Structure 1
Amino acid sequence: MIKNEQATAGQNLPYIAGITLIATLGGLLFGYDTAVISGAERSVQNYLIDSQGLSTWVHGATISSALIGCIIGGAISGMFASGIGRKKTLIVAATLFFLSALGSGYPEFLFFDGEEPSMGLLYMFNFYRVIGGIGVGLASAVCPVYIGEIAPANLRGRLVSLNQFAIIFGMLVVYFVNWGIASGQPIEWINEVGWRRMFLSEAIPAGLFGILLFFVPETPRYLSMAGRDEEAMKILTKVNGPETARKILADIKNTVEHHSGKLFSYGATVIVIGILLSVFQQFVGINVALYYAPRIFESMGAGKDASMLQTVVMGIVNVIFTVVAILTVDKWGRKPLLMVGSIGMAIGMFAIAGLSYYEVIGISTLVFIIIYTASFMMSWGPICWVLISEIFPNKIRGKAVAVAVAAQWAANYFISSTYPSMMEFSGAFTYGFYGVMSALSFLFVWKMVPETKGKSLEEMEALWTGKSGVVAEDKAMLAGRSKV
């Protein structure tokens, strides 16, 4: 208790909170950009696809084009984060969000005089959606890392979890924005103008994010790795107080100096765990539940209005249980939350599979979908990002997070794109598959994932040094560090 009080005594909580809130705008834009298409999808289909007699394959490729950008953004995030820094990478992401909002809303800009649908216009729309997706990929990788590298160890879980809350909140915001734009308007206006305003609305939070980023510091971990120790010390002191700051900076310098920075310099285990965390987060089927929720409820017998209401109920539940994770992650730990969440998701999905097999439609289906999504939101939703931001050693964090996030978006694309064909084969099989993945995620966490609650980012390296062949003196040095 005394040690913990000493560690928290010098913390500048208002400053930490301000930096975190600005950084989580990247998470809000992540959710906003990925969900804005839900309200505009049918109008985009009418305006750019059906008007030209194009196939449903082109429709699917257009709606999911942003995910291609997400994979690219995730893959290059490590190069950007390590090369130009965490802060500048987020500024790049904000710029891409802004350009995507303007371009997706008005793809005629620069290259077309009229507004008649054409293949060229379709190409430009997809180009701007991919640009936004790259921004999402960069933000999804770097926002948790930025927060994790700024936050004190005792607050890191909660603060990084706020990024997941911002993602879900961003989705809810854009649902209401889309509803507000379309409410009371004739379908002809929505198909011609309304969908454009939905995309253009993203320019407001994107511009605000870009401006506010100029008022936050670079992370001390990056500054120290770049040889800018004085600047790192100033930020660490402002966040943690001078005594704790000196200890953290010494630990950072030790970890930076003793490793090459190659991706597998700490062994393959930490990389494999990072990738599997990302893959399991998607293979449990969460984005199917989020992207296709209205269609799922309609297929189960709900009318159009009822399905939208049930989707709103599910969205509110998502926010509530994400808050549960924020409040408990630094008290209960990462592993317990993940394991409890896996059990809840497995129960929900296996029940839905059984109901689908016996063609039972009713309130019970909604109940088990809520059990499933609530379990995800209190566990795998935020905690996966917490672990990805903290388990990788300083020297390889940028590269390793890039690999994990690229794997996550690739898994997202695979699961989202295979859902329609799997449902055509068998609904019971589809939901049963997600249930099996949920059960396997429990075994994976139980056997492979270490508990990281309360450890500094530098102490985290001691988890992997014994498995990667680090020399004995380095292991002794790492093992002997005190918590900060």
Structure 2
Amino acid sequence: MHMISEGASGADGVGKAYRFNLAYIWMISAIAALGGLLFGYDWVVVGGSKPFYEPFFHLTTEEQIGWANSCSLLGCLLGSILSGLLSDRIGRKKLLIIAAVLFAVSSIFTGWASRFDTFVFWRIIGGVAIGVASNISPTYIAEVSPAAWRGRLVTLNQLTLVVGILAAQIVNMLIAGDVSATTHEAIRDTWQGQYGWRWMFTAVAVPSVIFFFCAFLVPESPRWLIKMGRRDKAAEVLRRIGGDAYAEDEVRDIEAGIERERSEKGSFGELFAPAVFGLLLTGVGLAVLQQWSGTNVIFNYAEEIYRGAGYDLSGVMFNIVITGAINLAFTLLATATVDRLGRRTLMLWGTAAITIMHALLGAAFFFHIQGPIVLILTLGVIAAYATSLAPVTWVLLSEIFPNRIRGVAISIAVSSLWIACFGVTYTFPIMNQRLGAAGTFWCYGIICLIGFLFIALRVPETKGKSLEDIEAQLAHGKSK
């Protein structure tokens, strides 16, 4: 148990000291965040396996390579839409279980596909699981977290995501081993080219099964329970989180928020009301910026980037693991600082740093500088991304929308994220061919510069506030 003073929203509740059961809070949040781990693994495994499945399926054109890397993102979009439609109907917990099943099934069938169209189909199904997990996991964590702990707990989802990324990169490197073959024909004839890449995909079935069984241990979201009229069950969950006083105050605040929803008759059409539409545009802008910052192409196209910098295939696989380790280290830093420094500060710092790093990366490729310089600059991009856009975007998306339309608004924002992710992943090989690596990274740098200005003008500070307080703040037009 852990004692912490937190101002309650009620007039008579300011300054109350709640006794939070932090072990329980962290346990249920960690279980929900396993969706992030599977998201990270399934999303990045393609980057390390592509040198082997591309020769196996005879993929040679930029369009084929881009489609193989990005097809799962269409499933992510579908999963995000489905989760938005179903989360308020069947609850968060059931969707976590469904995501676990989809991860397990798709990983096995993707790994043992014998034809490219079958491979694509199961990658899309895996993408549906990613889309569901990317939407539901942070939403669930935000809804069970006390306000003072919500930032770091939602960031836990990003932490497990990068652990999944690093796990995929390590598994890929271990399975790939020391590959001396360099041509597609030679790689196709190796064990890695015939079977190794299959085990890279299949490995994610193990944590998927663990997630499936653990998901039955978490309670349903108290906000969803109250919305469904199950007040006593919600109070029971909240008592286990923070004791009787906390449960009483939270139930009162949540019921007041739901009453506002009903009286204001929130609907899809309300998304176009000026105040709400402005918030929706902010959420969509953050989602698109996160992807078009260009950082994720370093994970998905590490082979092309590091080969262009003069590394052989074994060096590429090792460098990929280094990027994952840096990603994990700086995500830990973000977890420790997001509730101290605030969301805006981290986002502004991150976009500024990524802008500078992309400019230097473009210059390195323009002047044909190879080797460690390119590796150091890509690691700098990942470090800045891991402490800002990667985790904080998810925190903000879980916080800035009014309760009455939070589900559909998050679904729209996350759908925009996956559309943007598909676009940047599919177009990178084409941009790299036509603009060169220098021009491509300079384009991403310009986007990040625009993103910096967007955050400075549009993004509110939400640290330390309850979801209800944030809604009231934004309803009165306050951004800081």
Q: TM-score when scaled to structure 2?
A: 0.89
How far has the Cα of 1:161 moved from its partner?
0.7
Indicate yes or no: 2:221 matched with 1:219.
Answer: yes
Cα pair distance change 1:367/1:405, threshold 3 Å: same
Partner of 1:401: 410
1:454 aligns with 2:454: no
Name 1:328's counterpart in structure 2.
337
Residue 55 of structure 1: how far off its partner (Å):
6.0
Q: Deviations over 1:84-142 (max 9, x none)?
A: 111111111111111102221234xxxxxxxxx5xxx4333222111110000000111
Q: What residue in structure 2 maps to residue 103 of structure 1?
A: 109
Q: 1:339 aligns with which of 333, 348, 372?
A: 348
CA distance in 2, matches of 1:302, 1:182: 16
Alignment root-mean-square deviation, CA:
2.2
**Corresponding letter in the other structure for 1:105:** G
Measure the CA separation in 2 of the matches of 1:302 and 1:421: 21
Distance 1:366 1:184, change over 3 A: closer
In structure 2, relative to structure 1, the CA distance for the partners of 1:89 and 1:7 (3 Å cut) is farther
1:161 aligned partner, one-letter code = T
Query: Is 1:419 aligned to residue 425 of structure 2?
Result: no
The one-letter code of the counterpart of 2:467 is L
User: Residue 63 and residue 438 in structure 1: after superposition, are their counterparts in 2 closer, same or farther (change >3 A)?
Assistant: closer
Which of 157, 160, 170 is the aligned partner of 1:166? 160
Separation in 1 of the partners of 2:254 and 2:388?
Answer: 29
Cα deviations by residue, 1:32-65 (Å, 9 ceiling, x for unpaired): 1112223332333333346xxx866445423422
Return 5+ residue gaps in structure 1 as ranges.
108-116, 469-484
Instruction: Tell me if structure 2 keeps the 8 A contact 1:347–1:435.
Output: yes
**C-alpha distance in structure 2 between counterparts of 1:3 and 1:61, whole Å:** 49
Query: What is the match of residue 153 of structure 1?
Result: 147
Q: Map Cα deviations across residues 132-178 of structure 1 (whole Å, 9 max, x no partner).
A: 10000000111000111111100111011111111111011122222
1:28·1:169 contact (CA, 8 Å) conserved in 2? yes
Q: Tell me the TM-score normalised to structure 1 length.
A: 0.88
Aligned to 2:287, which of 265, 268, 278? Answer: 278
Do the aligned partners of 1:267 and 1:464 also contact (CA within 8 Å) in 2?
no
One-letter amino acid matched to 1:169: V
Deviations 1:198-246 (A, max 9, x none): 2221111111101110110011111111111111111111112211221
Cα distance change, pair 200–357 in 1 and its aligned pair in 2 (3 A)? closer
Please say if residues 69 and 300 of structure 2, whose CA atoms lie closer than 8 Å, have aligned partners that are also in contact.
no
| 1:303 alignment counterpart | 312
Secondary structure of the 1:10 match is: strand
Distance 1:7 1:148, change over 3 A: farther
Alignment pair present for 1:438 and 2:456 = no
Q: CA 1:288–1:58 in structure 2 vs 1: closer, same or farther (change >3 Å)?
A: closer
Matched to 2:349, the amino acid is V
1:165·1:319 contact (CA, 8 Å) conserved in 2?
A: yes
Identity %: 36
What stretches of structure 2 of length at least 5 have no aligned partner? 8-13, 180-186
Asked whether 1:196 is paired with 2:202, we answer no
The whole-number CA distance in structure 1 between the counterparts of 2:91 and 2:363 is 49
Partner of 2:46: 37
1:75–1:402 Cα contact (<8 Å) kept: yes
1:252-277, Cα deviation, whole Å (9 max, x unpaired): 11111222232416620111111011
Q: Judge conservation of contact 1:252–1:394 (CA < 8 Å) in 2.
A: no
The amino acid of 2:140's aligned partner reads Y
Please say if residues 70 and 136 of structure 1, whose CA atoms lie closer than 8 Å, have aligned partners that are also in contact: yes
Query: How far apart are residue 393 of structure 1 and its match?
Result: 1.9
Equivalent position of 2:175 in the other structure: 181
Structure 2 equivalent of residue 315 of structure 1:
324
